[in-house]
Amino acid sequence: MMKILLTICSLLALNISANATALSAGLSQDETAKAIKLAPYQQRDFQDEVFYFVLPDRFYNGDKSNDLGAAAGDKKRALSRGGLDKTHKGMYHGGDLAGLTKKLPYLDNMGITAIWLTPVLRNQAMQAGTSGYHGYWILDFTEIDPHLGSNADLKHLIEQAHKRNIKVFFDIITNHTADVIKYEECHGKDGLGWLVKGDDCPYKSLAQLVEGDVYTPLIPVGSENLKTPSWLNNIDVYHNQGDSHWAGESSIRGDFAGLDDIDTNSDKVVAGMVDIYKAIIDEFKPDGFRIDTVKHVNMEFWQDFSPALMAHAKTQGIDNFFMYGEVYSFEPELLSRFTVEGKLPSVLDFALQGALQKTLVEQQGTDVLATLFAQDHFYQTTHDDIENTNANQLVNFTGNHDMGRFAYSLKQSKHNYSELEQIQRNLLAHAMLYFSRGVPVIYYGDEQGFVGDGGDQASRQDMMPSKVASYNDDDLLATDKTTAADNFDSSHLFYQSFTQYAELYQQYPALRFGKQSTLYAQDKPGVFAISRTHKLSENGQDKEQELLVVFNTANHVESLNVLDSHIHRDKNAKLLYLSNDSQDDDKIAPLSFAIYQLK
C-alpha cells in the first residue's frame, strides 16, 4: 500500500510540474483559472461546456426533512413517499437539489460549466422492490420529486448555477412513464399479481394484434388518476403490447421491464409530449435537455419533437438551448441517424466510449480511434428547420450510470493492471474526452477515483458518506479514502487533473471548435496523434490556431519521430502541456499525452 501511495504522490508531483510547463506567464493554477474568461451562459456555445453528470439522490443531502419524499398524509402524492434505505444500493439515500446547490463551488472549481441531472420529476417511489431514486419512473411531469425538493428548489439551483455561469440540463423521458398499467393475462383481473412465470409479459407483435392476439390492459383500482397531465391516465395512449425483448419492433413498442410504453406513434401523443416539455422550459428555463431511451421511440416522433422544442426555447429567450439523446449503440452510422433523420441536435457518443474501452482497457491498436473519427462525416446534418450540427457537438463520456465506470472496466480487465496503471489509463481516457472532438462529460465520482462493482446500481455510489457495504469495500483509485467517508476532495489527483484539462480546454478554442484530423495511428498500442485547427479573429485579424495532441496508449516509452515533420522540424511548435515530463524531447512517456501549439 505504502509503495503505491508513494508512486501516486510522485505521479501527482509530475502533474504539478507539467502544469507549470503548461501555464504561461508564471500564473498559479488559481490565477489562470480566473484569467480564462468564459462567455456568459446565455451566449455560450454548447461546444464550450464541460459537463458533470450527477444523480442528485447520491450526491449530497442538503435537506434531511425531505428524505422520505411526500409528506405523510399527502393523498395526491402517496406513491411518491418512502423508499429510503441508506444501506441499500437500490433505494433512496437522501441526496437532493438543496445539496447539489450547496456543492456548486466544488463543481465550479473543477472547471465544470454545465450540469446534467438525472430526471427530477415526481416518481413512483417503489416498483418491484426497489426505488425511483434514479428518477426514471415518472408519474407527474409537472412537479419535482419530493425526495429531491420542490419546484422552487430546482429554480433556486438553476439561479445559483447561473450566477456562477454554470448551465443546467435536465434528463427527460418521452418513451415511458412509471409502471401503472398491468395486463390481465399476466397480472390477473385486479392487476395485482403475476400469472406469468419469469416476471415478464412476452411481447405481442403487430402481426399478432391483427390476429386478435392482444393483451387486456388495465389500471388497478385506486390508480386511475396517478399520472399528470391527466391525458396520461388514458390507457389508449400506450402501446400495451407487453415487454420489450430489445429487438425488432419490440424495441420501439414494448415495455421497458414493465414501464408503460407510450404510444409515440400517435399525433396526439406527440403534441402532448411537446406541450409537457414546453411547459418545463417555460417554468424552469433550463439550458437544455438530455433525452433518455431515444432508440426506443419511433424516428417520426423525434422529427416533430426536436424542432418544436428547439424553436420554443428560443421564444423563451434561451438562444443556445441544446439537446442530446441517449442512443445505446456503438455504431456511428446508427447513432447519427438520430441527428440526421431524427433532427436531434446531438447524441451521446457511445462509439467513442467503445473505442476508449478497446484501446485503453483491451489494448487494441490506436487505429481503432482513427477508424472511429474517420466516420465523423456521418454526423453532418443539412436541415432547414433546425440549426445544423456535426461531430464536434457529440457528447463524450468514459462510462455512466448504466454501463458502469471506466475505472471498473480497468479493474476487471484480464490484463491485471497495477493501481498505478489503472490511474494512468483512467486519466488518459478522460484526457481523450477533453482533447478530441466533442463535449466532455465527467460522471460524478470519477473525479474521486470511484470504481464500483459493475453497472446500474453498482455504479451509483454516494459522494456523501455512504452506508452501502458493497460500495464501501471498494478500493478507490489514487486515494486511501473509501466511500464510507465524504468524498468532495479537491486535492484528489483526478479532480486536480480534470481541473487542468478544463483550463486547457477553455484556453484554446481549437480544442473546443477545431476541425480534427488524424495525423498518426498504428495497429498496436502506442502513438495516436490528432491536429485541431480553428480560425479565430484576434485584434480584428483572422488567424488560424492549430494544436497537435499526442496520446501514447502503450505502457512503454514511444518515440515521437513519427511526428517529426510536425513537432521538431517546425520551429514554431511550442509545447503547451505534458502529462508526464519524465522523457526528453523526442519521446513520450507511457500512458501519457502532450499538447503542442503549431500555429
Q: Which residues bind Ca ion (CB under 5 A)?
A: 61, 63, 66-67, 94, 96, 175, 179, 181, 258, 260-261, 296, 453, 470, 473-474
Indicate the residue among 175 and 329 with the shorter CB distance to Ca ion. Answer: 175
Pick between residue 453 and residue 489 the one whose CB is nearest to Ca ion. Answer: 453
Q: How far is the CB of 255 from Ca ion (least distance, A)?
A: 5
Q: Which is nearer to Ca ion, 59 or 505 (CB)?
A: 59
- Cα 502 from chain centroid (whole Å): 16
**Grid coordinates standing for 97?**
437539489
Measured from the CB atom, the residue of 232 and 368 that comes closer to Ca ion is 232
- Asked if residues 121 and 135 have their Cβ atoms less than 8 Å apart, the reply is yes
Site of grid cell 385486479: 190
Beta carbon of residue 435, minimum distance to Ca ion (angstroms, whole number): 31
Nearer to Ca ion, 67 or 503 (CB): 67
- Is 426:407 a contact under the CB 8 Å cutoff? yes
Distance of closest approach, residue 63 Cβ to Ca ion, in angstroms: 5
**CA-to-CA distance for 132 and 259, rounded, in angstroms?**
12
Least distance in angstroms from the C-beta of 395 to Ca ion: 22
Residue 152: how many CB atoms within 10 A of its CB? 10
Look-up of cell digits 429567450: 317
Our CA angle for 205, 208, 209, nearest 5°, is 90
* Shortest Å, Cβ 578 to Ca ion: 35
Nearest 5°: the CA angle 125, 131, 137 is 65
Neighbouring C-alpha atoms within 13 Å toward the C-beta of 137: 21
Half-sphere exposure of 11 (CA within 13 A, CB side): 26
| Buried/exposed 249-262: b ≥16 CB within 10 Å, e otherwise | ebbbbbbbebbbbb
For every residue of 524-593, DSSP letters joined together read SSSEEEEEEEEEEEETTEEEEEEEEEEEE-SSS-EE-GGGTTTTTS-TT-EEEEES---S-TTEE-TTEE
Active site residue 326: yes
Active-site annotation holder among 67, 96, 261, 326: 326
Any idea what DSSP says for residue 131?
E
Nearer Cβ to Ca ion (9/235): 235
DSSP string, 18-65: HHHHHSGGG--HHHHHHHS-PPPTTT--GGG--EEEE-GGGT--S-GG
Q: Is 273 or 510 the residue whose CB approaches Ca ion more closely? A: 273
Mapping DSSP onto H, E and C, the string for 335-370 reads: HCHHHHCCCCCEEECHHHHHHHHHHHHCCCCCHHHH
Instruction: Quickly tell me which residue has 418491484 as its cell.
Output: 128
- Residues with a known catalytic role: 292, 326
